[in-house]
Amino acid sequence: MSVPHRVAVLALDGVVALDLGTPAQVFGAARTDDRTPLYAVATCTPGGQPVRSSAGFQVLPEHGLELLDSADTVIVPGIHAGSPLLDGTLAAEVTDALRAAYARGARVMSICTGAFVLAAAGLLDGRPATTHWAYAPRFRRLHPGVRLDPDVLFVDDGRVLTSAGVAAGIDLCLHVVRTDHGSAVANRAARRCVVPPWRDGGQAQYIERPVPRGADSGTAATREWARQWLHEPVTLREMAAHARMSVRTFTRHFRSETGLSPAQWLLQQRTEHARVLLETTDLSIDRIARDSGFGTTAALRQHFHARVGVAPSAYRRTFRRPSPGPPPPPPAAVDLGVVAPGRPGVPELSAATTA
């Protein structure tokens, strides 16, 4: 039996309670088909001493900084107090421990304002990174040498990864599980944690209205319908017609609910569908390009590499999972409205299709 991947969570004074618990929850839910744990998560503090949390309780760790000496991944949760936030400095012992972990090959991650800690340790110099959007001005002032992007959920820069605030830490941890073990394991972990299995790292942090106002005025039903037709060239006009809105109104509602334009969202969904097909089927790259809606192998390669960082064939070699049987048939349509010629679920376009 292989040894679980060792994750060390470094809690500093003022640690954000949700960020502190996220790694243990998400990585703890990542298991093999026979429920063998894939990660072992432990928490440490400087000197193994108690630290205050932002929620008004103390954290009583079982380990000191020596835990970082053997960790495969080191995670720094957000903080709401302390010198990294105030003046961009960090205790020498913490700096040395983080730098030593990175130097020997450990993956280093931060959640929310934990990026201030990594930056104070010098691990983000010259790198792309993110943090909670509300702290972006302060971060830029303290660390002008970091290529900060406060508009994304997380940034994966190889062995250094950073995420935005609160729920974005869940997205980052699931991204790491998916990178390490594939979509099937990550999706099971997400299901166990009752969270969405995948949000693209480039998605906007701030969404004006994350919850639709109601079934009749939102775009959720149309998004679900579009997922069933990823293998077809779904157009913005068709999506707006399905939602019974004008194109302009639909685009405005769609962006306010998802943080993405309809075109960006479709590209995200098609990339994820291609990723799953690469992992779980023996379909050719050309067939996957068609079934995921990219049309051509060249288009799949271009967009997949841009979003995932590797070519589809290279991704398949790394993450291929044996398929239990023949590949599934193309997804069936879901009838969610008046049927238009050629595609179930798209109502006829007319002057009555308005906001």
Residues 37, 69: contact at Cβ < 8 Å? Answer: no
Residue 159 CB neighbours (<10 A): 13
* CA angle, residues 75, 151, 277, in degrees to nearest 5: 75
- Backbone angles phi and psi of 125, in degrees to 5: -60, 125
Crossing angle of the two packed helices 262-280 and 297-308, in degrees rounded to 10: 100
The string of DSSP codes covering 341-355 is TTBTT-PPP-TT---
Return d(Cα 233, Cα 336) in angstroms, integer: 18
Mark whether 112 is an active-site residue.
yes
The string of DSSP codes covering 272-313 is HHHHHHHHH----HHHHHHHTT--SHHHHHHHHHHHHSS-HH
Active site residues: 112
